[in-house]
Amino acid sequence: MHDQFNRKIDYLRLAVTRRCNLNCTYCGNKNRLSVSGELGAFEIQQLVRAFVKCGVKRLRLTGGEPLLRTDLTEIIERAAAVGGLKEISLTTNGTLLTQELAFTLKEAGLARVNISIDSLKPLRYKEITGGGNLDEALAGVEAALVSRLNPLHINVVLLRGVNDDEADDFILYARKNPVTVRFIELMPFSQEQNCLAPVPNSQILERHPYLTPVKPFTRSQPSVDYSAANWKGKVGFISPMSDKFCDSCNRIRVLFDGRLKTCLGDEGTVDLKPLLDDEAALTDAIKKAVHFKPPSHNFEPECGLGYTLQEIGG
């Protein structure tokens, strides 16, 4: 499946909920805990089947916090049963990922996870996440490693004056552990977020000239990865603000309620839920929406798109 700019679109990020057990500074609203509007496991399978028919090869389940779905194992099993996917992965904050659950999800068909951790200091982690427990998140990392949900990515958003002094600590963590720590530049979803000062990834990389580029995990990944001699892990940089990579974007998103968003940084959506029982109409709607995928995102310093990352499933 290609868009009008001949970009091959084969990666779907599907939000299974907008609920979350945390309340991170830049992400969303902890009070949004209703299951209202969430697609059921069978409806998600219908969507996945249609997207696979359109050419999607990789599926990432997101939230909110996807581990809040009590039927997450069934969702993964149903997605895996469709066939045609090279990989099913998941993004989580890790605080609910026990070893037992990790093994269960692995057996259901989950290949790997990304875990979001924005501080390695317990009190600061609690403040950034609105009450989260760092020990639980790190236990989730261990559970993912033990159950071989890898390669394991640790996602970090640095904010100036908040946690930017921990960049070196995260790099040390990558040196000592078999993970890829990925620094992700903050994207301004609302005017309120303009008061949060992002940290350009180039500033971090400049302080560590010994880092050398390594082969990417996938051809179209947005992260530029580095490592060094005798390291167990890697460090990656995702720079949507300082170094746009829209010309190689291969992904689209489906929100928790079935709306298709072809660009994270664009307000447009297409409601797919009414078409779930008509696969021909569904695949046609997907292809038409993808054809008109915007050439680039609209994340500019003066921009506020008016929704939260939690709502659209980052």
pLDDT of residue 313: 65
Q: Residues near 58 by Cβ (< 8 Å), separated by ≥ 6?
A: 10, 11, 12, 85, 86, 87, 89, 218
Question: Rounded to an integer, what distance in angstroms lies between the CA atom of residue 180 and that of residue 225?
Answer: 8
CA distance to 190, 195, 204, per residue, from 301 (Å) = 10, 10, 20
pLDDT of residue 33: 66
pLDDT of residue 172: 97
Average pLDDT, the chain: 90
pLDDT of residue 85: 97
Q: Are 236 and 223 in contact (CB under 8 A)?
A: yes
Query: In the CATH hierarchy, which fold is given to the domain comprising 11-312?
Result: TIM Barrel (3.20.20)
Higher model confidence: residue 35 or residue 70?
70
pLDDT of residue 32: 58
pLDDT of residue 215: 87
Rounded to the nearest 10°, the torsion over CA 90, 94, 100, 102 is 20
Q: Categorize the per-residue pLDDT at 197 as very low, low, confident or very high, splitting at 50, 70 and 90.
A: confident
The region that residue 306 occupies, defined by phi over 0 for left and psi between -120 and 50 for alpha, beta otherwise, is left
pLDDT digits (tens, 9 = 90+) for 23-47: 987 876 655 567 889 999 999 999 9
Q: Does residue 307 carry a pLDDT above 70?
A: no
Domain spans in the chain, listed from the N-terminal domain onward: 11-312
pLDDT digits (tens, 9 = 90+) for 226-240: 999 999 999 999 987
Q: Does residue 12 carry a pLDDT above 60?
A: yes
Q: Are 111 and 58 in contact (CB under 8 A)?
A: no
The whole-number average pLDDT for the span 179-200 is: 75
How many other β-carbons are positioned within 10 Å of the β-carbon of residue 150?
Answer: 14
pLDDT digits (tens, 9 = 90+) for 103-160: 999 999 999 999 999 999 999 999 999 999 999 999 999 999 999 999 999 999 999 9
Alpha-helical segments (H) within the chain = 41-54, 72-82, 99-108, 122-128, 134-146, 167-176, 201-206, 279-291, 309-312
Q: Which of 143, 45, 50 is nearest to 94 (CA)?
A: 143
Higher model confidence: residue 266 or residue 235?
235
pLDDT of residue 216: 84
For residue 34, give both structure tokens: 């209703």
Tell me the HSE value of 66 on the side-chain side, using a 13 A CA sphere: 33
pLDDT of residue 245: 75
Q: Does residue 303 carry a pLDDT above 70?
A: no
Q: Categorize the per-residue pLDDT at 221 as very low, low, confident or very high, splitting at 50, 70 and 90.
A: confident
Can you give the C-alpha Rg of the chain in angstroms? Answer: 19
Q: Categorize the per-residue pLDDT at 68 as very low, low, confident or very high, splitting at 50, 70 and 90.
A: very high
* Number of residues that make up the chain: 314
The whole-number average pLDDT for the span 254-263 is: 95
pLDDT of residue 267: 81
